Amino acid sequence: MQKIPFAYPLAGDEEEQAVKEVLASGLWTHGPQAAAFEEEFAAFLGPGAHCVAVSSGMAALHLAFWRLGLTTGDEVIVAAQNHVATAHAICLLGAIPVFADCEPVSGNIDPSLLECLITPRTKAIALVHFLGIPCDLDAITAIARRHSLFLIEDCALALGARWRGIHAGLHGDAGIFSFYPAKHIGVGEGGMFVTRHADLARDCARARGFGVDKPYSDRPIPGIYDVTSLGLNYRLSDVHAAIGRAQLRKLPRFLQLRQQNFQQLSAELVRSPDIHVLQSRHPAAISAHYCLSAVLPSTWTNHRNTILQYLAAAGIGCSVYYPHPVPRLEWYRRRTPYNSAHFTHAERISDSSVALPVGPHLAPEDPGRIAHTLFAALEESLR
Ligand SMILES: *Cc1c(COP(=O)(O)O)cnc(C)c1O
């Protein structure tokens, strides 16, 4: 029986040819590919986008918080139901993540909880468009503006997602994307920092490459440069950028397939009144589904892991997004005692959901097979 991977990066002759050309050019980094990828990515996002290609989504998050000036003792409100990267980037700067629970329909941060978490030390709100489902940006941008807070959008799972027609990542001060192979487009390891502020983009571009004032290609006298800020090496190599450009050309098709697979799979799953499929019902939201997260009734919580094992044994790639609310992860629990009463919805998703594939690697009959296998797993677990 054919296995259906949870995620599978699709590369073809275009990616292979692009890599060969970069290797043959001798310009493996500092070359024209990363700059071209930034321009094409900005064009995909839409007007006003400035893009800085970096070596991972985590690197983009670290740069964003660092260059926005986050420092020791500052507080940032973050979604509890999220990848650990956002909170880690905050902690790396000595700042403090203040976790907010999600709302149960979409799994996104609950805007109604934000204002009571704001203190005089709050500097920013960092949201994640959970699984490619846009947050309520009307509510969140209004709160950020009212309290003069930076807004950072983690769009690592949301390439293609829009709110009121504007792409995710362009609603606040900064956005980040990831090109880890399981994401909407992959390059191996890579990411993109995006912002509407041209000066912030320039600053991040400099900090990405050791704080050097002139990139390699702009040095009138070879070997002569100065260093005008502190920096890191978070550059994206030209090899990776060339793969990214080839993937970006395929993105519209990938997004169409993700949408189609999500619709087909959720149409099958709604036949069970017990299953809730995380999604946005807001008319302003266009989702770019990373996967389909099926939240099971709490009566099934004790069986959830058995259901995952059943699916895996039946060849259905599945996962959990995410297995713990971030404040329940061991490192965070050690810093701040975990209070489960504050994170009931995030916990429900961590403990009772099953994430199913909707990627462009699926065959037309796969959504049906995935749904039937999940129903069989549920039935089996009640025996
Ligand atoms: C993948 C991911 C990241 C980290 O991106 P990397 O490129 O793996 O560093 C951050 N946030 C979210 C929501 C992610 O899914």
pLDDT in tens, the chain (383 residues): 789 999 999 999 999 999 999 999 999 998 899 999 999 999 999 999 999 999 999 999 999 999 999 999 999 999 999 999 999 999 999 999 999 999 999 999 999 999 999 999 999 999 999 999 999 999 999 999 999 999 999 999 999 999 999 999 999 999 999 999 999 999 999 999 999 999 999 999 999 999 998 877 788 888 899 999 999 999 999 999 999 999 999 999 999 999 999 999 999 999 999 899 999 999 999 999 999 999 998 888 899 999 999 999 999 999 999 999 999 999 999 999 999 999 999 999 999 999 999 999 999 999 999 999 999 999 998 77
57 CA → ligand 1 middle, Å: 5
Q: Using CB atoms within 10 A of its CB, is residue 105 exposed (0-12), middle (13-18) or buried (19+)?
A: middle
333 CA → ligand 1 middle, Å: 21
Looking at residue 381, its pLDDT comes to 85
Looking at residue 352, its pLDDT comes to 97
344 CA → ligand 1 middle, Å: 24
Q: How many CB atoms lie within 10 A of CB 60?
A: 32
Terminal-to-terminal C-alpha distance of the chain: 25
Q: Where are the beta strands (DSSP E) in 129-269?
A: 150-154, 162-163, 166-167, 174-178, 191-195
Q: Which residues line ligand 1 (CB under 6 A)?
A: 56-58, 82-83, 85, 128, 154, 156-157, 178, 180, 191
Pocket-testing residue among 152, 153, 180, ligand 1, by greatest number of atoms within 8 A of Cβ:
180
Token pair in block for residue 18 = 């692009």
List of residues 6+ apart from 164 with CB closer than 8 A: 137, 138, 284
Q: Whose CA is nearest to atom 7 of ligand 1?
A: 57
Looking at residue 28, its pLDDT comes to 96
Looking at residue 219, its pLDDT comes to 83
Pocket-testing residue among 55, 58, 90, ligand 1, by greatest number of atoms within 8 A of Cβ:
58
Please state, in angstroms and rounded to a whole number, the distance separating the CA atoms of residues 360 and 137: 28
213 CA → ligand 1 middle, Å: 29
- Angle, CA of 240, 243 and 247, to the nearest 5°: 135
* Cβ atoms 374, 294 nearer than 8 A: yes
Amino acid residing at 193? F
Q: Does 332 sit behind a cis peptide bond, omega within 30 degrees of 0 on the bond before it?
A: no
Please state, in angstroms and rounded to a whole number, the distance separating the CA atoms of residues 281 and 300: 25
Phi first, then psi: give them for residue 30, nearest 5 degrees. 65, 10
Q: How many CB atoms lie within 10 A of CB 346?
A: 29
Largest pairwise CA distance in the chain: 76
322 CA → ligand 1 middle, Å: 12
Q: What pTM was computed for the model?
A: 0.97
**CA quadruple 192, 171, 75, 93: dihedral, nearest 10:** 20
Please state, in angstroms and rounded to a whole number, the distance separating the CA atoms of residues 15 and 107: 34
Assign 316 to helix, strand or coil: strand
